[in-house]
Structure 1
Amino acid sequence: MTENASSSFVYVSYIRTTPEKLWSALTNPDFMKQYWFGTYCESEWEPGSSWRMIQADGQVSDVGEIVEAEPAKRLVIKWRNEFRPDLTSEGYSICTMDIEPIQGVMKLTITHSINREKSKLIEAVSGGWPRILSNLKSLLETGQVVLTTKP
């Protein structure tokens, strides 16, 4: 799906951490809440396992399935929004998270794609990912987030 997607968002960040710490930050619900404005994801983080995103108020906002999981290297999630009918109707997207060591730091590449032109979902996530990932980078490198509230 990623290769033929009609709409996609790509974000690259370089983070001074280890592959293991970055993987843990991407998959540990308690750590996730710190940089994702109270939101966290639940899953067994193995191919075929269910995945869901839970907002700070307990609402399930997104659901899906783990497509690929190679700890400290790659995570692929089949992802569908559940709380905005205009986004839900677009169906499933694919979110790929690649971790690659480069010059002593981790290159994290997030690619969020859907096989639909002018996707409202991709438009929505393209506003959220930079804020979330800026917080992740700062938290891993300094112990503090840079943004404390959602837009």
Structure 2
Amino acid sequence: MTTLTFDLYIRATPEQVWQALTDPELVPRWRFGMSFDTDWRTGSPLTSRAPDGSGTVTQCLPGRRLAYDWIQTDQPESNGGHSSTVMYELGAMGAITQLSVVHSNLDPEGLFLKVVQPGWPMLLSSLKTLLETGEPLPFRTGGA
């Protein structure tokens, strides 16, 4: 299996970053329309739209760590028929938050990896820009 890791530094508090990761009004703004339906509690189910998917929140420590398993329900074969795991870890550095993102359990031969590997830098750049300027990046894409 393949794991992708990304680290970025955002001029925002961990609470502001957390809100952008979990608020149903903010998530689609930086994720190019993708939204999640969940209460973000450990063990809770989650569903997504654009693309459609389902999973489970596996860890939720507000302001510190968020993780979930997810599978694209309309194309489960794109990741070898199994879910992948996304984990966000936040760390305060004065007026800056270090955000580490780990996306694991990716099929190295799967179509899903070919989409998310270039997609994550776009998403995370949009998240950073949204938090620092109030507007996400205006990429013209259907999703990442």
Global fold match (TM > 0.5): yes
How many Å separate the matches in 2 of 1:76 and 1:145? Answer: 23
Name the aligned partner's letter for residue 81 of structure 1: Q
Tell me, yes or no, if structure 1 residue 137 matches structure 2 residue 132: no
Residue 86 in structure 1 maps to residue 81 in structure 2: no
- 1:44 alignment partner, SS class: coil
Is the aligned partner of 1:28 residue 2:23? yes
Structure 1 vs Structure 2: percent identity of aligned residues?
Answer: 27
Which of 97-106 and 119-128 deviates more? 119-128
User: Whole-Å Cα distance in 1 between the matches of residues 87 and 62 of structure 2?
Assistant: 13
Q: Give the match for residue 114 of structure 2.
A: 123
RMSD: 1.8
Count matched residues.
142
Instruction: Report deviation, 1:119.
Output: 3.9
Correspondence for 1:13: 8
Q: Secondary structure at the match of 1:145?
A: coil
How many angstroms does 1:128 deviate by? 1.6
Q: Following the alignment from structure 2 to structure 1, what is the Cα–Cα distance between the partners of residues 97 and 114?
A: 26
Shift of 1:147: 2.5
- Output the CA distance in 1 between the equivalents of 2:75 and 2:107: 17
2:61 corresponds to which residue?
A: 70
Post-superposition offset of 1:127:
2.0
Tell which deviates more after alignment, 73-82 or 108-117. 108-117
**1:106 aligns to 2:97 (yes or no):** yes
2-structure distance, mates of 1:108, 1:98: 6
TM-score, normalised to structure 1's length? 0.85
Structure 2: runs of 5 or more not aligned: none
Q: Partner of 1:3 in structure 2?
A: none
